[in-house]
Structure 1
Amino acid sequence: MDSASTVGELPRALDAAALTDRLDGRRPAAFLDYDGVLSPIVERPEDAVLSDRMRTVVRELADRCPVCIVTGRDREVVQQLMGMDDLVVAGSHGFDIWDPEKGEVSHTALSDFTGLVGDTTATLRDRVGGIPGVTIEPKRASVAVHYRRAAPEARVEVEQIVRALLAEHPDQLAVVPGKMVYELKPAIDWNKGKAVLHLIDVLGLGSDDVVPLYLGDDITDEDAFRALRGRGIGILVGSPDDPEMTDRTTEAEFVLATVDEVEQFLSNLAR
């Protein structure tokens, strides 16, 4: 059976009795995307600094239950933006997992893709680096091409260049869809959903008294929503009024419309 829903069909997580019932008497484990969830989407990725209020709420929640950040950002970058380095972070879409107590968390699906990512980054700099409004963001296990500030005709050019590069390396590269960004990564079967399931196992969160919660806003978060179906709760962050959400279907079960609602939800969860 198809479990996908449109954003407008989802019940609000802030006042959903069904969500409260599923948490009753059980311990939550929070898996949180960063951009669009803990911090609003901004024109320049480097400006997405965590607010003082949200930082306080996240710390209060971490005092009560496990909190893991699952992001497409490099792990070190998101730690700097958060002003926190004492949480578990799965950076680069789960390619780089780090625990403040255990250090780097290994997983057998991954190898060293430094050469491939470096070569891809260099090629993109050469082909799109001169296009106004386009920004290239190198990461440990991927490279992102941001085009939010580019003119419409430039966006078409970027898409054509990315498609051509993928066609040149069909068995090596894959694209991760995102909001005004193309992210090229190694073409292996690993994503945020697999990273979350790996963390549940590594951190000992698989018992029946624990409810994994995943909050995300992007297409890449759908892998995590899907992975937790039947064993956890997926919460999409986004408003039906957002043009980027108009035709969106999701595997999440509940919705929060804004980052402010996320802050309120996490604050309630921390009580």
Structure 2
Amino acid sequence: MTDQPSPASTEGKPSALVRFDAFAAMLGDRRPAVFLDYDGTLTPIVERPDLALLDESVRAVIRRLAALCPVAVVSGRDLEDVARHVGIDDLIYAGSHGFDIRGPGLRTQIGEEYLGDLDAAEADLLRRLHGVEGALVERKRFAIAIHTRRVVPDRKALVGDTVRDVAAAFPTLRVTGGKEIHELRPNVPWDKGKAVLSLLDTLGLAGPETLPLYLGDDETDEDAFRALAARGEGRGFGIRVMDPPAPSAAGWSLKDPAEAGAFLDRLAVWLAKG
């Protein structure tokens, strides 16, 4: 097993928790910049987004970590929603997959000109999915999420077809996906990966003295893993929260949100010791 496995491999993703000493040695004297997804990374995946509550112990760990290094939460959730769930002031929050960013002295919004089309697509989806039990249409400012976790299996395909049909009527929007979710977003070249790279530049963290780390669990987080890997060997690492293993551009792994919390705690302790 190597510390830097092939990005396309399903095997050989070392655990950033079990092999923390090797992970810390890789950091060396560089300061990490930590980027965190929310659902499935900091909290378990649940049937309804409003039920994904952050454990107080994990919140305390993130607060301690943020006092030691830059920390940003990069989520598919609406910015105000994820900021409310995390509940820590003065963090950097990137909502709607990075389309909406806020932090101390920082405010960026991408794609405001597409809000009208998102409004129209939302109305169409609500009308067409009204009779599909369990289908949840969640409007965010810069995206529309259609959750299928509570839809019976033989109707899930219908939901996906409906989303694609609606998207076809709006060339300004594009369909993306994830675990039991379809999303419509502005059809622009922007995603979590580009948001992370933009934040590194904006915050003055793109130099060799900083090592960006991104923890995520879903397909949309792969954009961030690929973006960090593309910076060059040893200049950024993804940590995929996944069990069982799956193809990923991340170089490291954690099993579940409990391990993610334990890893962040250990990282905070290690940084505090200097």
Q: Report how many residues are paired.
A: 259
Cα distance in 2 for residues equivalent to 1:130 and 1:143: 18
2:108 paired residue number: 105
2:146 paired residue number: 145
Secondary structure of 1:89 counterpart: strand
Alignment of 1:240-259 (within 5 A): 240=244, 248-259=246-257
2:134 paired residue number: 133
Report the TM-score when normalising by structure 1.
0.92
CA contact (8 A) 1:129 1:136 kept: no
Does residue 1:160 correspond to 2:170, yes or no?
Answer: no
Cα distance in 2 for residues equivalent to 1:113 and 1:173: 8
What stretches of structure 1 move > 6 A for 4+ residues in a row?
none
1:102-157 alpha-carbon deviations (Å, 9 max, x no partner): 14135xx6442210111111110011133111111000101000010010122121
1:237 paired residue number: 241
User: Identity, % of aligned pairs?
Assistant: 46
Deviation at 1:18, TM superposition (A): 4.1
1:209 paired residue number: 209
Task: Give the counterpart letter for 2:59 in structure 1.
Answer: R
Greater shift after overlay, 53-62 or 20-29? 20-29
Does residue 1:82 correspond to 2:80, yes or no?
Answer: no
Deviation at 1:82, TM superposition (A): 1.5
Alpha-carbon RMSD across the aligned residues, in angstroms, is 1.4
Cα distance in 2 for residues equivalent to 1:45 and 1:207: 36
Cα distance in 2 for residues equivalent to 1:103 and 1:204: 13
CA contact (8 A) 1:146 1:182 kept: yes
Cα distance in 2 for residues equivalent to 1:226 and 1:11: 17
Does residue 1:265 correspond to 2:266, yes or no?
Answer: no
Deviation at 1:239, TM superposition (A): 0.8
Task: Give the counterpart letter for 2:64 in structure 1.
Answer: E
Unaligned runs of 5+ in 2: 1-5, 270-274
Alignment of 1:10-89 (within 5 A): 10-16=13-19, 17-89=21-93
1:37-64 alpha-carbon deviations (Å, 9 max, x no partner): 1111111110111110110000010010
Cα distance in 2 for residues equivalent to 1:28 and 1:268: 13
Task: Give the counterpart letter for 2:91 in structure 1.
Answer: L
